[in-house]
């Protein structure tokens, strides 16, 4: 039965995952075609579906769970993801929290998401502010395919436009809120196998010190912000001082936000 299969799978996955039980549950729910809540509340005594073992084998080969199931929850939405698109991570929700804190009782009308990937930050922000509209920019057409599909599935296709581009280059509009999760991994930094082996390198690595894309992106932000607006960018947890210095050199004032683990994770630039 499923209860026993989950225990065995979690034990096997402990060698490749920091969250083996959660991985097993998500894979089993996907195999059944139900939510994880439905699995845990009503299906633990059901027979094990035939496809479950094949899914576990893929995870044992370090393939990300989100690529196996084709989706990942982020903030208040569920996003379709797959090869060629960066997997949304809970740490990135820090950017949405920082944006909500900044605007308070106000609401942004226009939102720009630089390096949007599968639409992660933009669609989460649009879900929170239903009267806002936004633009998502990414160099990867493969990622933009996922972004457009996600906008359509979430009923936001009329509010979210996704276009290919290189950070803010060529943009002549101004935005109330700019969000960005650029590559920030140093070329020689160690990464988990499921990240290094499967996720797109272009969305991960940014030169020897991981700062190359901040150096290219941040100087353009003052010209893209509406008065009273804010740009919020994700950082690696050791990069707060370096990225803050780049921002100050561009005439922007940085404020650092920490993630749930207490590590610097986002910087608000105003």
Residue 192 is predicted with a pLDDT of 92
CA distance 187 to 30: 34
Strands of the sheet with 225-234, listed across from one edge = 160-164, 133-138, 110-114, 175-180, 225-234, 264-269, 254-258
Give φ, ψ of 190 to 5 degrees. Answer: -75, 140
The pTM assigned to this predicted structure is: 0.95
- Residue from 237, 101, 245, 251 nearest 177 by CA: 101
Residue 242 is predicted with a pLDDT of 98
pLDDT in tens, 65-99: 999 999 999 999 999 999 999 999 999 999 999 99
pLDDT in tens, 173-218: 999 999 999 999 999 999 999 999 999 999 999 999 999 999 999 9
Residue 148 is predicted with a pLDDT of 98
With a cut of 50, list the residues of the chain below it in pLDDT.
Answer: none
DSSP H/E element including 139 = none
How is domain 81-269 classified at the CATH fold level?
Answer: Rossmann fold (3.40.50)
Range 2-61 classified under CATH 1.10.8: yes
CA distance 231 to 248: 13
- Give domain limits for the chain: 2-61, 81-269
For 164, the token pair is: 């290919």
Print burial letters for 236-246: b (CB count within 10 Å at least 16), e (below 16): beebbebbbeb
CA distance 4 to 92: 34
For 261, the token pair is: 């683990």
């Amino acid at each position: 039965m499923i209860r026993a299969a989950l225990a065995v799978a979690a034990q096997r996955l402990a060698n490749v995952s920091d969250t083996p039980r959660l991985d097993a549950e998500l894979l089993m729910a996907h195999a059944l075609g139900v939510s994880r809540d439905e699995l845990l509340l009503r299906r633990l005594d059901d027979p094990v579906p035939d496809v479950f073992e094949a899914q576990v084998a893929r995870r044992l080969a370090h393939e990300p769970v989100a690529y196996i199931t084709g989706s990942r929850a982020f903030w208040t939405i569920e996003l379709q993801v797959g090869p060629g698109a960066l997997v949304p991570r809970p740490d990135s929700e820090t950017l949405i929290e920082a944006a909500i804190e900044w605007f308070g009782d106000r609401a942004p009308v226009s939102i720009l998401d630089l390096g949007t990937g599968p639409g992660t930050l933009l669609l989460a922000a649009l879900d929170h502010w239903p009267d806002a509209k936004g633009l998502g920019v990414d160099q990867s057409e493969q990622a933009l395919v996922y972004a457009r599909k996600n906008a359509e599935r979430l009923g936001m296709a009329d509010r979210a436009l996704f276009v290919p581009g290189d950070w803010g280059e060529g943009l002549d509009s101004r935005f109330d809120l700019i969000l960005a999760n650029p590559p920030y991994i140093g070329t020689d930094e160690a990464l988990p196998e499921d990240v290094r082996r499967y996720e797109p390198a272009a969305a991960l690595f940014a030169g020897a010190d991981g700062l190359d894309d901040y150096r290219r992106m941040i100087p353009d932000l003052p010209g893209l912000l509406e008065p009273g607006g804010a740009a919020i960018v994700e950082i690696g947890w050791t990069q707060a001082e370096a990225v803050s210095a780049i921002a100050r050199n561009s005439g922007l004032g940085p404020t650092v936000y920490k993630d749930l683990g207490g590590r610097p994770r986002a910087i608000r630039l105003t």
